[in-house]
Structure 1
Amino acid sequence: MWWDSLIIFVVTFGLFTLSAILWPTDRQWYASLNKPSWTPPAKWFGIVWTVLYALIAAAVTIVYDRTDSFQDVSAHWLIALAVNYAFNQAFNYVEFKAKNLFAGFVDTLLVAVTACWLLIETAAYSRLAAWLLVPYLLWASFATLLAWMIFLLNRDEAEAY
């Protein structure tokens, strides 16, 4: 039924936004960091992640619909989703609560790697769902480079934490 799909979408979207609620961005601390000149404005991050979480939720919903309520989904797909979710959720904690820029970089790298893995696993169920994950992979890859540069530019201050 269509409401099952709606519930899957809403639950997935809600779960992916959870870390922003539990460990919100420390805007003052983030603003104080040295950043490369090509860093997007801080307000873009919330917008981009909201759109990406909606795309992830849509992809998960499509897989749900194509696999008879996840009954025919592979363990590989479930593990890829769970591992990606865990790394995705860890970022706000390590970056904004623990203020560990190196761990933030490593976590972002793992988000990008597992986003690629999730995209590959998703393609077995739906090309459309896989394509919906491409912006996530691209943004996670960009975020990895940005996190590395922020770590390098703030290495001395980061060691003080």
Structure 2
Amino acid sequence: MIFSAILVFILVYLLFSLSGILFPIDLTWYASLKKPSWTPTGKTIGFIWAVLYALIALSLAIVEYKVGLKNTSITFMLLWVINYLANQAFSFFEFIAKRLDLAFLDTAIVAITTFLLIFATLQYSILAAILLIPYLIWAFVATILAWFIYRLNSY
């Protein structure tokens, strides 16, 4: 069980990090956008995501260790898949498609599915659910930030 939990941690961390490789940030375009004064720097955002990816991966690894992912509900796994796909889609919408409206909607989906994931995770592990709270907080902050960036740059 510990080996499979470690494997889940590594796999989930790598999968969540994938969007940075698949959809690289267009720094010139992003720098040209109007942003609220409270927008974190790119390095800060990168650090936050690195920590969050570790917490997300640890949360799922704990569930794997305690009950095994194959023993979780379809709803639990579906929420994870939707959350993961939405998380990955943000970089595509923001930096490849340059669709700030879709990036905003996408962050809202990430926030909503993270909220639901916390409750779905509670039945398997309180600690695993608690580890998702920083992700939820950041998802809501990111949604608000994405909304402001969209509104400031809508012509």
Shift of 1:42: 1.6
Aligned to 1:45: 45
- What are the equivalent positions in structure 2 for 1:1-150 lying under 5 Å apart? 1-67=1-67, 69-150=68-149
Shift of 1:70: 1.7
Runs of 4+ aligned residues of structure 1 deviating over 6 Å after TM superposition are none
How many residue pairs end up in the alignment?
155
Percent identity between the two aligned chains: 47
TM-score, structure 1 as length reference: 0.94
Amino acid in the other structure paired with 2:75: H
- Please list the CA deviations of residues 96-150 of structure 1 after superposition, one character each: whole Å capped at 9, or x if unmatched: 0000000000001111001111111011111100010000000000000000000
The SS at the match of 2:24 is: coil
Shift of 1:72: 1.6
- Please list the CA deviations of residues 3-60 of structure 1 after superposition, one character each: whole Å capped at 9, or x if unmatched: 2211110001011111111001111111110000111112111111111010000000
Alpha carbon RMSD of aligned pairs, Å? Answer: 0.9
Shift of 1:71: 2.7
Amino acid in the other structure paired with 1:13: Y
- Please list the CA deviations of residues 57-90 of structure 1 after superposition, one character each: whole Å capped at 9, or x if unmatched: 00000111111x3232111110110110110010
Aligned to 1:159: none
CA distance in 1, matches of 2:65, 2:4: 9
CA distance in 2, matches of 1:10, 1:57: 7
TM-score, structure 2 as length reference: 0.97
Amino acid in the other structure paired with 1:36: P
List gaps (5 residues or longer) in structure 2.
Answer: none
Amino acid in the other structure paired with 1:56: I
